[in-house]
Amino acid sequence: MKSHENILIVMLLLTAGILGVMVYGTVDNNQASADMVDRYGNYIMVTGKVDTNADMLYVIDVPRQKLVAYAIDGLNNKLQVADDKVDLKRVFRK
């Protein structure tokens, strides 16, 4: 009887371990990542996905060293300024 109980315990532990790995692999870690970078004249534009329904567009004005972040709402087709107060001179002081 003991060997059947031991086999059952091992099988349950293996099943729990496999289930734990599957759950861990499906958890979203909420990281944003850059998708595309483009430079046109004095501006650098970077796009990135924030979540399934929202993207970001970052525009860097190189001569003024300013960054403006735009939130792109794909569901409602709206573009709005998320942050326009980033002074890159202050952020990247030497």
Number of H helices, E strands in the chain: 2, 5
Residue 81 CB neighbour total at 10 angstroms: 10
User: 80-89: per-residue pLDDT in tens?
Assistant: 888 877 888 7
Phi-psi region of 63 (alpha: psi -120 to 50; beta: other; left: phi over 0): alpha
**What are the tokens at 8?**
């059952």
Round the average pLDDT of the chain to a whole number and report it: 77
How far apart CA 40 and CA 55 sit, in angstroms, is 20
User: 60-80: per-residue pLDDT in tens?
Assistant: 888 888 888 888 877 788 888
CA distances from 11 to 15, 16, 21, 62 (A): 6, 9, 15, 60
Greater model confidence, 55 or 24: 55
